[in-house]
């Protein structure tokens, strides 16, 4: 059984969320009306996973999350509005250690809860399996590990020699990054070590709603030496720049007279997650040789990106999968490893260094 604590100050929302999870056979549910009650239940109930509202009286969700991560680390899924303020609060929650979020039902809550139920249940189940170390928040954990010397696991014949230095990719090219659950702090850990003169543009497909990707890009831009931009219109790709795909759309590579551009385009049947990593990689392969592309697949639920990056690997491109020991959810990178499509399986703190080695 998964022990779930639902924390929300709305009696209606607690009732509706309770009904959603009560209809599933593998949940034991308790409720809290605010952060103070949640902290009490943390000790009494010992939940496996928590859904946590942001705005509550007495102690709000962010203050409560901070205490949870310090006192008894537990996977937390934020229940957040899709407003600009909600996006900023959710990104702060990721910094504090939340592993995922779901949109808060608005308007006629009782009518919309049915639409959100499948996503809510899937994310909470996935979060319950997330690996959190007991003493550190997620981003603190990642930064702590940067100073370590975790091993590189080579998993294919093309990378079988432990002593061989990685061969740089050929000519100018692109780095293509896909991530989902746990992605914002993972992106911070990936991008902040890279220098402002990093030679290749980096394109990122992070599964998020449109109201979240702009604030994410602005936050990363303030933390990184690289210039980080959300793609809302065709943008000419430049070295030293990171391009975040706009949520609720797909990010693709196209070619104009001036050169390669990043574009946000409407979603397309056959790609269930957005922005789609699979679609991003396939679009890039249509304009550059595989030897000019590096794929990086990091923490996330599902298998987005695994098929396209396995194809890229088979055609001579270079691919990196985040190792299970640092991934919040080893779904996406794990699927790439299962498909034998990863040249390297690396803990998150080693990926930036590997990118520097691989780019000429």
Cα separation of 76 and 71, whole Å? 14
Catalytic member of 126, 180, 211, 276: 180
Please give the order of strands across the beta sheet that includes 100-103.
27-32, 2-7, 49-53, 76-80, 100-103
Q: Residue 91 region, left (φ>0) first, then alpha (ψ -120 to 50), else beta?
A: alpha
Q: Tell me whether residue 42 is exposed, middle or buried, using C-beta atoms within 10 angstroms of its C-beta: 0 to 12, 13 to 18, 19 or more.
A: buried
Catalytic member of 53, 80, 153, 207: 207
Task: Please report the DSSP string for 321-355 in residue order.
Answer: EE-TTT-SSBSHHHHHHHTT--SEEE-HHHHHHHH
Please check whether residue 191 is in contact with residue 242, taking contact to mean a CB–CB distance below 8 angstroms. Answer: yes
Q: Is 207 an annotated catalytic residue?
A: yes
Please check whether residue 194 is in contact with residue 351, taking contact to mean a CB–CB distance below 8 angstroms. Answer: no
Catalytic member of 48, 53, 304, 343: 304
Please check whether residue 322 is in contact with residue 351, taking contact to mean a CB–CB distance below 8 angstroms. Answer: yes
Which CA distances in Å does 35 have to 43, 62, 249?
A: 13, 9, 35
Cα separation of 18 and 8, whole Å? 11
Quote the longest CA-to-CA distance of the chain.
Answer: 64
In what helix (H) or strand (E) does residue 127 lie, and over which residues does it extend?
A: helix 109-128
- Which residues are registered as beta bridge partners of 6? 31, 51
Residue 3 DSSP SS3: strand
Report the catalytic residues. Answer: 180, 207, 304
């Amino acid at each position: 059984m998964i022990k779930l604590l639902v924390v929300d100050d709305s009696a209606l929302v607690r009732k509706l969320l309770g009904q959603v999870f009560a209809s599933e056979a593998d949940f034991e549910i308790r409720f809290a009306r605010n952060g103070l009650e949640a902290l009490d239940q943390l000790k009494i109930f010992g939940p496996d996973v928590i859904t946590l509202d942001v705005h509550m009286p007495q102690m709000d969700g962010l203050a409560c999350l901070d205490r949870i991560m310090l006192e008894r680390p537990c996977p937390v899924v934020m229940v957040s509005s899709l407003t600009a303020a909600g996006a900023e609060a959710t990104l702060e929650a990721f910094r504090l250690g939340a592993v995922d979020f779901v949109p808060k039902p608005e308007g006629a809550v009782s009518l919309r809860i049915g639409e959100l139920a499948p996503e809510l249940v899937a994310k909470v189940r996935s979060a319950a399996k997330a690996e959190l170390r007991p003493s550190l928040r997620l981003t603190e954990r990642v930064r702590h590990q940067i100073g370590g010397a975790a091993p590189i696991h080579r998993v294919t014949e093309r990378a079988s020699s432990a002593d061989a230095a990685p061969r740089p990719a050929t000519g100018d090219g692109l780095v293509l990054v896909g991530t989902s659950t746990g992605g914002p702090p993972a992106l911070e850990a990936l991008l902040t070590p890279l220098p402002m003169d990093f030679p290749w543009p980096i394109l990122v497909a992070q599964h998020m709603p449109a109201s979240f990707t702009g604030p994410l890009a602005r936050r990363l831009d303030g933390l990184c030496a690289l210039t980080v931009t959300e793609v809302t219109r065709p943008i000419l790709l430049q070295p030293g720049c990171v391009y975040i795909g706009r949520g609720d759309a797909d990010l693709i590579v196209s070619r104009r007279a001036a050169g390669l551009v990043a574009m946000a385009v409407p979603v397309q049947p056959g790609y269930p997650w957005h922005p789609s990593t699979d679609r991003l990689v396939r679009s890039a392969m249509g304009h550059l040789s595989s030897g000019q592309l590096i794929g990086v697949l990091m923490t996330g639920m599902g298998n987005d990106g695994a098929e396209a990056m396995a194809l890229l690997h088979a055609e001579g491109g270079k691919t990196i999968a985040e190792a299970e020991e640092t991934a919040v959810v080893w779904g996406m990178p794990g699927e790439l490893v299962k498909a034998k499509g990863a040249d390297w399986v690396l803990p998150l703190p080693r990926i930036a260094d590997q990118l520097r080695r691989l780019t000429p």
